[in-house]
Amino acid sequence: MISKREKQILHLIAHEYTTPQIAQRLHISGDTVKSHRKSLFSKVGAKNTAGLIRRAFETQLLESNNLNWKDDDR
């Protein structure tokens, strides 16, 4: 349903990273982050960040016991 990059961005959003922080951490542009965020909103049917996180939990894209980063997830 979502790409590996979108999943990385979703996890960072859940950890309260801003768009510039996500861009820096993933070595991509802020515009690329915004594009992925827009795609995530569309794919899960969310209107804002709170809705994105809520829907991500509802659809099990995020799990509360699996929010820690592993080296292979980066």
| pTM, entire model | 0.84
What mean pLDDT comes out for the span 23-31? 98
Q: Mean pLDDT throughout 31-52?
A: 97
Distance (Å, whole) CA 10 – CA 53 = 8
Binning pLDDT at 50, 70 and 90, where does residue 70 land?
A: very low
Q: How far apart are CA 28 and CA 50, in angstroms?
A: 23
Read off the pLDDT of each residue in 3-26 and give the average, rounded to a whole number: 96
Q: Which domains does the chain have, with CATH numbers?
A: 4-64 (1.10.10.10)
